[in-house]
Structure 1
């Protein structure tokens, strides 16, 4: 299977692609000419014309596309039908919850955050765009994103070939519900990794924990491609435009970014310790006992099972040899409530998590395929074949 190696069989990838194409067609057919202009982009290709599709964000910036605000209710429903076509039911519930958290975050901040728009925390500012013409022939893609959500899907010749990068975040990561319950949309991603690292014997724990403090964000950030030596991008750098039109809002963002970096307190050597490397850091699953391997498989599921079951790569890790090659690394204390970061890495696999900001109550998580995010491997092969 090409791209992010989503399925072990071609059939499931085609079934998923047909479901997406039908939903995308229904959404596009319901738009007027101006909406469609904003909602569409060029056919995915291996070249400069595809640059916009490969831009992705997880900050509350312009992700590119048609927002919920710019759609009527029936159009919004059709948009969410397309979003649901790419997700398992638990993942769809999680995405819907994350969008709703914008209202919670707005209250947390006193309903004053603005950034470069009228309302800084806005559940109506999630963006959808389709690239190319949905169908069973040719190449097309679609992207959905807004604060703490980024979904990227590529279909080639009627088969779903890539669904990464796939980002989910939550701010607040934990918030109270009536009756003493707690809303933690990404809680299992945190708890399973912590339980695994805390279960390691001292010799393995010493190798798994790269640093006694955590980086302030995902090490690979929102880069289109990852490369050895990549390190944390400051918050102010993860926005569509370099600067806000309003100097006052830009000053506030820069101050927030600087405060986050100061709180992390990483020195040059610390950045080197957690920098991305092609060779995985940490401890390999081959060194884990049976219970720890089960924890790792469960952790992988919280990322790989974001997509529908028939195309999830989770099953590949039922194979002992495939799991053996997966490594886990951690940075920061392992005590609950402390700022922390972890990375899970193996062939065609990169997972990152951080929960460091806002007093370790602001979580980020991403599933990537370093060799094939956005289906770049498939597109490169198509170009080579065309010119071969």
Structure 2
């Protein structure tokens, strides 16, 4: 079980629900308390994962979960991977049609444990992030129920769905979410191709559990405290002149790119460009990204953070409001060539005299594994260019595409899909070239994915006119 040293003001906030500013105040004394553990100690069958798991482990856990289900439950769990279904997530409490899959409260204890084991296998192991944070957000919903929120809240009102069939040879997505949580993890041919969009929020900011549904009774929780403290450190590391440049004139009462806003990234990045920062200040920007990125499995998180660091020169940070993350309307943004992170402070819904947090992590190249945006830039495109080329594009209807690999492959497979994610054709081949027919394709944008030997899959988009 993980232990975390928390300052005394957090204990006061947990009992009196004071503003989060108390949590970040300099400590007068220290007290050791039990923080929501990285392993779901209250759920039998969920492993305490201390090392990075592979996609094969996620698939194994998914198959073990499905083995506990009836045929009708399996039919509800496994849905089609397409542009409509991937958007079935929300920040709001669960309502009919808002999400896909099986609700935890409808499952037996054994089935719940198996479902959570899938989520744990797919997420990170850092205390306060990853699976630990998923569990804290669920526990926060129990707190809302116990404090007048009503039956719309609760740790059992979270749903799990598989979009596509879990495997190490195809494309599929794990969705897990409910109120204040949306986890969307896309896998393709044994690789994590997209850990975003990831929505996280919390109300209240700090609390102590009063039941044992998720953690032992008396567990101190502070969901998103890692995110808040890292964003605050980033802003506090700026000079007065830099803060002036980073400050936005607009006001924000919520995040901009929440549910239903796929692909609507602003055309122009605004705020303070990170190329103007010192190395130490740039380190604080990367550290501010980390609590979101570390929600993905450990290996994916390390790789993405390293890649986001290479894009710092063209990454911007911006804020609105007080910059203290203590008041309604306080807002912070990190906007890079790939990474997009927002942190917004809203008025409380159940705890009306407090603020609560809404946040989002998106990636221009990796949302939903890069399968449904028609204007994706970043590593998906760069990796595809290194692996294979497609000619001509645009193509005239009926014209045969010439696909050329950078190096001969012993075994390769291409998959042609439309932008809704429907598979139109698939063919395996060997060597360094293959022809892809376009006969019968209507004018529009299409996605050609290619997997060659043991390389990560790559995707090209092309247009038929």
User: TM-score with structure 2 length normalisation?
Assistant: 0.62
Residue matched to 1:247: none
Residue matched to 2:169: 137
Q: Distance in 2 between matches of 1:187 and 1:60?
A: 22
- Summarize the Cα distance change of 1:315–1:193 in structure 2 as closer, same or farther, 3 Å threshold: closer
Residue matched to 1:255: none
- Summarize the Cα distance change of 1:225–1:23 in structure 2 as closer, same or farther, 3 Å threshold: same
Q: Deviations over 1:84-115 (max 9, x none)?
A: 0111123111111110111211233x25x3xx
Q: Secondary structure at the match of 1:210?
A: coil
Residue matched to 2:239: 201
Residue matched to 1:341: 331
- Summarize the Cα distance change of 1:41–1:79 in structure 2 as closer, same or farther, 3 Å threshold: same
- Stretches of structure 1 lacking an aligned partner (at least 5 in a row): 1-13, 114-118, 229-276
**Contact 1:343–1:353 (8 Å) recurs in 2:** yes
Match 1:350 to one of 333, 340, 346: 340
Residue matched to 2:76: 38
Q: Does 1:218 align with 2:255?
A: yes
Residue matched to 1:184: 222
Q: CA RMSD in A?
A: 2.7
Residue matched to 1:25: 63
Aligned-pair CA distance for 1:328: 0.8
User: TM-score with structure 1 length normalisation?
Assistant: 0.73
More strand as a share of residues: 2
Deviates further, 126-135 or 70-79: 126-135
Q: Deviations over 1:103-128 (max 9, x none)?
A: 211233x25x3xxxxx1112111001
- Stretches of structure 2 lacking an aligned partner (at least 5 in a row): 1-51, 211-217, 375-414, 419-423, 426-436, 439-465
Q: Distance in 1 between matches of 2:280 and 2:94?
A: 42
Aligned-pair CA distance for 1:307: 1.2
Aligned-pair CA distance for 1:188: 2.4
- Summarize the Cα distance change of 1:170–1:221 in structure 2 as closer, same or farther, 3 Å threshold: same
Aligned-pair CA distance for 1:53: 2.4
Aligned-pair CA distance for 1:184: 2.1
Deviates further, 310-319 or 376-385: 376-385
Match 2:92 to one of 54, 59, 65: 59
Aligned-pair CA distance for 1:329: 0.7
Q: Secondary structure at the match of 1:366?
A: strand
Residue matched to 1:164: 196
Q: Deviations over 1:207-248 (max 9, x none)?
A: 21103x7411111121251325xxxxxxxxxxxxxxxxxxxx
Q: Secondary structure at the match of 2:264?
A: coil
**Contact 1:332–1:341 (8 Å) recurs in 2:** yes
Q: Deviations over 1:181-205 (max 9, x none)?
A: 9742211211222232233223221
Q: Distance in 2 between matches of 1:177 and 1:26?
A: 30
More helix as a share of residues: 1
Report the count of equivalent residues.
Answer: 312
**Contact 2:196–2:367 (8 Å) recurs in 1:** yes
Q: Distance in 1 between matches of 2:334 and 2:223?
A: 20
Q: Which has the higher contact order (CA 8 A, sep 6+)?
A: 1
Q: Does 1:331 align with 2:320?
A: yes
Aligned-pair CA distance for 1:177: 8.1
> 1:43-192 alignment to 2 at 5 Å?
44-45=81-82, 50-62=83-95, 63-89=99-125, 90=127, 91-108=130-147, 110-111=148-149, 113=150, 119-175=151-207, 183-192=221-230
